[in-house]
Structure 1
Amino acid sequence: MYKKQGSNFHTSSAGFTLLELMVAVIILAILAAIAMPMYSNYITKAKARSAQSDLVALSLVLESLYQRNLKYIDSTGEKTVSDYLTTNTMAGSWQPSADTFDYKLTVTTTTYSLKAIGKDRNSGCEITLTNTNTRTITGGSACGGLASW
């Protein structure tokens, strides 16, 4: 019997070829290109929802003041919420959870209007709540696409 000699190199499937590695990298890049904008929009919407809950919590503080005094504390013009709360110690220690919003307050003896104005990632988003529970939101994509609350 005569045996034929084969080649001296071995074929092994122990690793990845460069082509397989490049295909995996391309697939990951496509997935990241799809996921990153969706995640960014999710964060923007979450910050706007957080501002909404801050406004509701602040309205509860103001309603509590009204129950104790039978009037909202007088104010002239629009103030920042922190200025209002420091001058009215009865208002408690309300702290906003959304750091990308500034909070403004317009209050008279019988009415109030709360406004959250977006900054940074939420720039252009404006959320309003009044003492009659009128809720508005403007800003479209700056609010993560929220149209109502």
Structure 2
Amino acid sequence: MEKFAKSRGFTLVELLAGVAIIAILIAVAYPSYLNYVKRARIHAAYQALLDNAQSLERHYANHANFKKNSTTWMDLAITQTQHFCIRFQGNPRGTTSDSIYSIKAVAWDKEQEPRVLWLNQNGTAQLCQSSSSTCEEQDFFKNPARADKNCQPYPS
């Protein structure tokens, strides 16, 4: 007969060591995950800008400009993603040519994502680290020349 059955399981020290290892892995992986999420959101906005650019080029081929009339931009095919609003940059009345445009994606929540992304008629895209543009602006983003700061080509 056995006097005592041998107990099976983890000791407190083994359990704490396992929890500590998991906590370290999470502490290392979480910032990488957040960076990945931000890159994915910017890429989704970039894809929406490219889709809009294709629509704009089709409109230009049929009408020889990017406007509905002299005071209004044409309607964009995609006006928002889950995290960004998308509008033309600048007043259509102020454009010096009917063959230029710039469209911009601005985050709905500027606290979480201060960066903006814009694309022009040449296919040039820029990712700017900050901007005074907000999604509350109606019809188009104002102050295009001085709104965006610290811009770099995208994708880089």
Q: TM-score, normalised by structure 1?
A: 0.71
Q: Deviations over 1:90-148 (max 9, x none)?
A: x6xx33673111112045522111111123375211111111222211128xxxxx863
Conservation of the 8 A alpha-carbon contact between 2:80 and 2:86: no
Which is higher, the Rg of structure 1 or of structure 2? Answer: 1
1:102 has 2:85 as partner:
yes
| SS across alignment from 1:14 | coil
What residue is the counterpart of 2:121 in the other structure? 131
User: What is the CA–CA distance in structure 1 between the aligned matches of 2:154 and 2:7, rounded to whole Å?
Assistant: 57
What residue is the counterpart of 2:102 in the other structure? 113
- Note the residue ranges of structure 2 that are not aligned, 5 or more in a row: 131-151
What residue is the counterpart of 2:154 in the other structure? 148
Matching residue's letter, 1:117: V
Report the more deviating stretch, 41-50 or 104-113: 104-113
User: What is the CA–CA distance in structure 2 between the aligned matches of 1:147 and 1:21, rounded to whole Å?
Assistant: 49
Q: Percent identity?
A: 29
Which structure shows the higher helix fraction?
1
CA change 1:67–1:42 in 2 (3 A) is same
Aligned structure 1 segments of 4 or more residues deviating by more than 3 angstroms: 74-77
Q: TM-score, normalised by structure 2?
A: 0.68
Conservation of the 8 A alpha-carbon contact between 2:84 and 2:108: yes
- Note the residue ranges of structure 1 that are not aligned, 5 or more in a row: 1-7, 86-90, 141-145
Q: Pairwise CA RMSD of aligned residues? A: 2.8
Length, aligned pairs only: 125
| SS across alignment from 1:139 | strand
